[in-house]
Structure 1
Amino acid sequence: MAKTLVIVESPAKAKTINKYLPKGYKVQATMGHVRDLPKSKLGIDIENNFEPSYVTIRGKGDILKKMKSEAKKADMVLLATDPDREGEAISWHIANYLNLTKEGSARIEFHEITKNAIRNSIKSKREINMDLVDAQQARRILDRLVGYSISPLLWKKIKKGLSAGRVQSVATKLIVDREKEIMDFVSQEYWNLNLDLIKEKNSDDYFVARYHGINGKKKDIGDEEELTKITDTLKNEEIKVLDVKKGKRNRKPPNPFTTSTMQQEAFKKLNFTTKKTMSIAQQLYEGLNIEGIGSVGLITYMRTDSIRISDEAKDNCKNYILENFGKEYLGTNIGKNKGKNVQDAHEAIRPTTIDLDPKTVKGSLKRDQYRLYKLIWERFAASQMSNGVYDTTSVDITCGQYGFKASDSKLIFKGFMKVYDMTEDSDETNDKGFIPELTPGELLFLKDMQKEQKFTQPPARYTEASLVKAMEERGIGRPSTYSPTIQTIRARGYVENIDKKFQPTELGIMVTELMEEYFKNILDYDFTAEMESSLDKVAEGDVKWQTVIEYFYKDFEKDLAHAEKDMEKIIIEDPVSDVECDKCGRMMVIKNGRYGKFLACPGFPECRNTKTIVEDLGIPCPECENGSIVQKKSKKGRAFYGCTNYPECNFMVWDKPVKDEQCPKCGSLLLQKGYSKTSKIYCSNEKCDYVKKQ
């Protein structure tokens, strides 16, 4: 019997694939990349057309030896690495290492790990796509040139351990630029004015109308003097209905997930970091053991910027909707890809089998696996369903020259919202009280009014979700780079994540300003997007990869020489704390580490004393008399809250305690889960069911 060796990246993927292959097939995992540029040197021959020099990655020697041994025994080697540029490059490196011939090997590609997808990919064997390999090589070489050229310069001029990167430096700049916008922002006063209106005098039933403007034109109320003119008019002149409009409004279903939108929604709805989202999505893609079925890939490939869906998947989903919801819930959504440089090689992220709904697989998945799978499944099902339908009423109201608007919107058909919750993203403008039947010219009566002084707010700091969205909109990076980029700029100490929002550190601002001064192109948003577009052209076979590198390097080389000559050395001193080192008496300094800030003795290396930084919340410990609650961090960097009297007092919670507020039902400590507008405040007493209404 002929023997075939199938090569994939991960053991989990190997296990799932093995289930679908007939006898005579053996699957082996590479455990990721096997060859790369050397860590100890640049590894690029700039004088020889930027030729890269690859070496075996440390620790991969035994894997490659075993692979070579198995390949010699096989009649055919199938390269089944991931269906993207990185996967194509891994296959190319393996083919070179094993000296595979075109006759004795082939590339197979699948976007979901199911029986049909695996079998069909074997029927559609192809050669390695060198355009995709070259695009990956070009990206790797570009990133190496930037990182290995600028990082040592930053070490020499600022401090050791710093780094620069073609994408990471631009992502940091986004956060720095936003912080500068916030600092430069000048707040403006304005007032909100809402009227409680009734149709008949002395009625208890009222509806709310919002101030709109003057003589039919939108205009805000700028100050209290202007507000007083309006309220005086309301007291002295008639309030009447100018126009009434009734209608219906459709709410379209969302598109199925791309990598970016999945990361954004998982952050908002599940409180997942991008790293956690991608890790769990990888598990769902590679395959999990489902009771009664065995190991199965639950979702399609999770690195994609396309919203395209295969005809087969659409038909299966259509049948599921008809069977489980009815014909009226079947939609006609045909989403179109948007944004810069969208690649359409992959499908959107969707369940591999719509019949494996969340309730079917729940018992076989871990909690977070289930939550992400449920989100992906519901998003896909919703994308193929009908619109939500609302009855709408809009009323224009006048009093003298001043105009007011009242509106309400009533959901009359859920459509896709039957399966996908859109409440958090709701843009509804429903006002208090349903609007009664009104006719133009009808007089209304003022029951009450609400006046509220407000001030314009600066733009919000980026969260992980909004930063990914900004990177995608500007064409910075690709689906595979969003998460590692965010991890890198945090690890380098360029940004801090405070209450789920990014703030640049002093170091991050300083490095960004230096980069802007000496490496303008690298920090330019449009230039970065243009480079991404050039890499896409390499992948499509339209441009040679050396041309892209040469175009970049001719200016970069000049900038590098200028920086090495003119950049001044900057001394950064660590902030001194008010904590005395209990080993040598020096005042400890604040340093940034892998898991955030910590205290260290400035006498290093003679004195190596370190301490964690604890934030006292000013909340008495509920379990002991004289302790208070402080924020600490676990070994993995996760924040938790405990008592200052530890270990005598073992009080500890993961969610943040609420200050100056107790449970109104039992008097216990209140806790806050999450930081977003949908955060939950609940009682810490397990026997109490109190949850604060937001």
Structure 2
Amino acid sequence: MVNLFILCEKNTQQANPFAKALLGRVNRNSDGFYEGTWRGNNVIIGYLGGHLYEQFQPGDYSSSWSAREAKPQDLVKAQPLIPNEWKIKEKKGKVGKQTIHELLMKVKKWGNQAQEIYLATDPDREGTLLGQEVLRELGLMDKVTKRVYVNDMAESQIRKSFEQAQEIENDYLLYQAGLERQRVDWLGGIASFALIKSENMLKGRKQKGTGSIGRVKSGVAIFIHQVNERIDNWDENAPENNKYGIVMKTSDGLILKSERQAPREAQAESWVKKHEQTTLAMVETKDSLRQVNAPMFFQLSDIQAWAKQNKIQKNIMPFLNNLALKGYITYPRTAINVISKSFRDENLVPNAENVKGLLKLNIELPNKTTFDKPWINNTKVKNAGHTANVYGDNVPTEAALQGLEPEEQQLYRIISLRTLGPMMPKGVDKVRQYLSQIDDMPFKASCSAIDKKGWRAITELIKSQKRESGETVFLDGGLKEITFEVERIKRHPPVRITRANLPKLMEKYGLGTPATQENIIKEMIEYKQIKFNGKYFEVTEVGKMLVFNQPLYTFESTKELGKMLLDIQGLGESDQPIPSGTAVNLLASEIKKWKEELLPKLPENMSFFDAYEQKEKVSMSTPKGKEIKFNQEFFGHKFSKEECEQLLAGKEITFKGNNGKPVVGSLKRQKYKGKSFWGFMPNWDKEKYGKARGI
């Protein structure tokens, strides 16, 4: 008898370490799920592999919604495409060597046998959605009693998370917000194909990517375009980019600056002229000690930004996964629902001495176990863990560390240093403030020096060196000879968007999540919507269509939608959660306005796919003499005569697609919408899903 079935999101990243932490060993049954005993219960730990269901395509609801069957005018008239009942369907493909259908049947089998089910997918909106959609579609939701929020893959933290499992009802709002996100993106993306495609075709644009629209991609394109426009048109002499202050210089070397500035240079010069006879001023001093906090623990987006700044060109996610699976670091992957008011981990301090020795640091031992704030980014989150990446409870030996990839060694070192910093005493600076006043104009200056290094003994965490207090001369106050001059204070233009800062900026403005941002950027480059010119990102002509040819997603509306999803989740600014459907209805009203503006412009003879359906077909005979016609091009590659002969002989061929990756496949008889035809078919087992076997 199975007492408990635990469903998590991934195999090697979750199910395997969960089994080690809870069951004490890794023992897999005939279905590949993990089995053992926990707290006297017979337990099966199963896994998914990301989203195993997908939204219906518009054409699945009705042929009148199909972009290939309906006329553009009719499809635009039907907007917004809101189904009477939203539906999802099982995805095609594989997770490892098994098909998605086979995996789902295993989940259903063990879920039906279990007395109760714990949901232990990622503790964020998407993890909740993909877990609950499987359980609901398989009719298992009534058996789910607990939600487990595992934020940290250290074994001790896994056990703690399961011991503190929450009631499944706590997940309701998170699930509703996930559904809303999914439906908003479908409605404004896939379902709005006809609108954006029509807009672009009216402007003579038909190539790949011109029918692609999405909340996040549009936001990224608009953001990059706006930043580049501001910089390219920056006028450093424009009044709004300048203000003018007054500098007071003393005969013994002090430089005090006015606390107020004037918008025009003439105003500041007038003040100086008025006070040119003032040659003496009293300068007061105030001494104090200032505490200096260590840098915060790393979050995923911080690590990604750090890696780019330190010239790590490779995708760091596999490195982080490997370090986490070995227990060398903790690796929470989410940033939405895993924030706490304070972070306490009793495993950090006992391991600090070993980590310190491994990294060959000469520092004062940590003296803290509780770290208040500054990791809060939403005080409404309850029963959550932390978002920090810190060193794990398995400290590697020096030989094991040296055996890692160079990038993994770099990542382990900086994550460990950023863990030790907040545990150490705070830094303390001596500060002297200088204050003076001429008529109604206050002036001030300050000078500081290190009194106690504290965490700054870890020099790699310091951006710039500061002098020790014994090396700094603090001038005295008193009556001093003075002169005035006008200081022009220039406003700086925004920084260009680069590979290093784009993920962090996307997180700041709610564009994607740390786990999806790299793929979004990669896909936009492949679709030729943005390009990197060697120094910074630019929006291409195709990308500008997202900027100018669609009214659904402005930069501001994208941020507003993100806030609305938080409000549905109960974590936004509203006092009470807002009803699900609010964001969908708002977007639908905008789509309706767009439709009404677009319809009068559409010509009767417009067709979306003529340019794509007239591909060159080759007619050749098989070795047995049968004549076959098939498209001679696939994924940007035109088959050579030799390749065509191999295909006709029933052999597999390999070539590079237009994304530079190898494609393996053969000629197959296929069927679409009741029509049979011959065409090239990739071998997904070898090409697309080969890398997924470790999920």
Aligned residues of 1:16 and 1:297 also touching (Cα < 8 A): no
Change in Cα spacing, 1:538 to 1:357, as seen in structure 2 (3 Å) is: same
Q: TM (normalized to structure 1)?
A: 0.62
Change in Cα spacing, 1:69 to 1:333, as seen in structure 2 (3 Å) is: closer
Change in Cα spacing, 1:355 to 1:18, as seen in structure 2 (3 Å) is: closer
2:233 aligns with one of 175, 184, 195: 184
Aligned twin of 1:68: 105
Aligned residues of 2:368 and 2:423 also touching (Cα < 8 A): yes
Aligned twin of 1:175: 224
Is 1:493 aligned to residue 528 of structure 2?
A: yes
Is 1:36 aligned to residue 54 of structure 2?
A: yes
Aligned twin of 1:369: 408
Q: Deviations along 1:485-543, whole A, 9 cap, x unmatched? A: 4334433333333445333334433431222xx43668635533443334424999944
Alignment map for 1:501-512 (pairs within 5 Å): 501-512=536-547
2:334 aligns with one of 282, 295, 303: 303
Alignment map for 1:321-470 (pairs within 5 Å): 330=368, 333-335=371-373, 343=381, 345-351=384-390, 353=392, 356=395, 362-363=401-402, 365-394=404-433, 408-419=447-458, 421-424=460-463, 434-435=472-473, 437-441=475-479, 457-464=492-499, 466-470=501-505
Aligned twin of 1:255: 296
Is 1:95 aligned to residue 126 of structure 2?
A: no
Q: Deviations along 1:228-264, whole A, 9 cap, x unmatched? A: x99xx9xx99898844444322212233334444444
Aligned residues of 1:212 and 1:218 also touching (Cα < 8 A): no
Q: C-alpha separation between the residues in 2 aligned to 1:104 and 1:248?
A: 55
Change in Cα spacing, 1:145 to 1:258, as seen in structure 2 (3 Å) is: same
Q: CA deviation at 1:105?
A: 8.4
Q: CA deviation at 1:389?
A: 1.1
Q: Secondary structure at the match of 1:301?
A: coil
Q: C-alpha separation between the residues in 2 aligned to 1:488 and 1:384?
A: 40
Q: C-alpha separation between the residues in 2 aligned to 1:302 and 1:523?
A: 26
Q: Which amino acid aligns with 1:53?
A: I
Q: Secondary structure at the match of 2:99?
A: helix
* Percent identical residues: 18
Q: TM (normalized to structure 2)?
A: 0.62
Aligned residues of 1:358 and 1:377 also touching (Cα < 8 A): no
Aligned residues of 1:5 and 1:71 also touching (Cα < 8 A): no
Change in Cα spacing, 1:567 to 1:409, as seen in structure 2 (3 Å) is: farther
Aligned residues of 1:256 and 1:349 also touching (Cα < 8 A): yes
Q: C-alpha separation between the residues in 2 aligned to 1:363 and 1:605?
A: 43
Q: Secondary structure at the match of 1:276?
A: coil
Change in Cα spacing, 1:237 to 1:7, as seen in structure 2 (3 Å) is: closer
Q: Which has the higher contact order (CA 8 A, sep 6+)?
A: 2
Q: Secondary structure at the match of 1:182?
A: helix
Q: Which amino acid aligns with 1:35?
A: Y
Change in Cα spacing, 1:88 to 1:541, as seen in structure 2 (3 Å) is: farther
Change in Cα spacing, 1:607 to 1:320, as seen in structure 2 (3 Å) is: closer
Q: CA deviation at 1:143?
A: 0.5
Q: C-alpha separation between the residues in 2 aligned to 1:217 and 1:106?
A: 58
Q: Secondary structure at the match of 1:167?
A: helix
Is 1:16 aligned to residue 17 of structure 2?
A: yes
Q: CA deviation at 1:301?
A: 1.5
Q: Which amino acid aligns with 2:152?
A: E
Q: CA deviation at 1:176?
A: 1.8
Aligned twin of 2:565: 532
Aligned residues of 1:461 and 1:503 also touching (Cα < 8 A): no
Aligned residues of 2:108 and 2:138 also touching (Cα < 8 A): yes
Q: Secondary structure at the match of 2:531?
A: strand
Q: C-alpha separation between the residues in 2 aligned to 1:487 and 1:605?
A: 20
Aligned twin of 2:548: 513
Change in Cα spacing, 1:606 to 1:34, as seen in structure 2 (3 Å) is: closer
Q: C-alpha separation between the residues in 2 aligned to 1:110 and 1:351?
A: 15
Aligned twin of 1:112: 152
Q: Deviations along 1:78-111, whole A, 9 cap, x unmatched? A: 5432222222223224334554374498654422
Q: Secondary structure at the match of 1:185?
A: coil
Q: C-alpha separation between the residues in 1 aligned to 2:353 and 2:599?
A: 67
For structure 1, which segment, 56-65 or 66-75, has the greater mean C-alpha deviation from structure 2 after superposition? 66-75
Q: CA deviation at 1:147?
A: 1.0
Q: Which amino acid aligns with 1:494?
A: Q
Alignment map for 1:210-289 (pairs within 5 Å): 210=255, 212=257, 242-268=283-309, 270-271=310-311, 276-285=315-324, 287-288=325-326
Q: CA deviation at 1:403?
A: 11
Aligned residues of 1:78 and 1:108 also touching (Cα < 8 A): yes
2:176 aligns with one of 107, 124, 134: 134
Aligned twin of 2:623: none
Q: C-alpha separation between the residues in 2 aligned to 1:430 and 1:493?
A: 52
Q: C-alpha separation between the residues in 2 aligned to 1:496 and 1:454?
A: 34
Q: C-alpha separation between the residues in 2 aligned to 1:193 and 1:342?
A: 45
Q: Secondary structure at the match of 2:413?
A: helix
Q: Deviations along 1:259-304, whole A, 9 cap, x unmatched? A: 4444444444x3457x93445444444x13xxxxxxx373142212
Q: Secondary structure at the match of 1:51?
A: coil
Aligned residues of 2:151 and 2:387 also touching (Cα < 8 A): no
Q: CA deviation at 1:388?
A: 1.1
Change in Cα spacing, 1:117 to 1:393, as seen in structure 2 (3 Å) is: closer
**RMSD of aligned alpha carbons:** 5.3
Q: Secondary structure at the match of 2:151?
A: coil
Q: Secondary structure at the match of 2:410?
A: helix
Aligned residues of 2:561 and 2:583 also touching (Cα < 8 A): no
Q: CA deviation at 1:349?
A: 1.5
Q: Which amino acid aligns with 1:212?
A: K
Q: CA deviation at 1:178?
A: 1.8
Q: Secondary structure at the match of 1:531?
A: helix
Aligned residues of 2:54 and 2:91 also touching (Cα < 8 A): yes
Aligned residues of 2:390 and 2:419 also touching (Cα < 8 A): yes
Aligned residues of 1:257 and 1:376 also touching (Cα < 8 A): yes
Aligned twin of 1:559: 594
Q: C-alpha separation between the residues in 2 aligned to 1:370 and 1:218?
A: 49
Aligned residues of 2:199 and 2:598 also touching (Cα < 8 A): no
For structure 1, which segment, 1-10 or 553-562, has the greater mean C-alpha deviation from structure 2 after superposition? 1-10
Aligned residues of 1:494 and 1:508 also touching (Cα < 8 A): yes
Change in Cα spacing, 1:310 to 1:12, as seen in structure 2 (3 Å) is: farther
Aligned residues of 2:432 and 2:447 also touching (Cα < 8 A): yes
Q: C-alpha separation between the residues in 1 aligned to 2:560 and 2:251?
A: 58
Give structure 2 stretches of 5+ with no counterpart. Answer: 28-34, 37-43, 66-80, 201-205, 357-362, 605-635, 641-658, 662-695
Q: C-alpha separation between the residues in 2 aligned to 1:521 and 1:545?
A: 22
Aligned residues of 1:321 and 1:329 also touching (Cα < 8 A): no
Q: Which amino acid aligns with 1:19?
A: K
Q: Secondary structure at the match of 2:16?
A: helix
Aligned residues of 1:211 and 1:403 also touching (Cα < 8 A): no
Q: CA deviation at 1:3?
A: 8.2
1:82 aligns with one of 122, 132, 140: 122
Aligned residues of 1:265 and 1:465 also touching (Cα < 8 A): yes
Q: C-alpha separation between the residues in 2 aligned to 1:360 and 1:131?
A: 47
Q: Deviations along 1:108-142, whole A, 9 cap, x unmatched? A: 44222333444455554854844433322221111
Q: Secondary structure at the match of 1:347?
A: coil
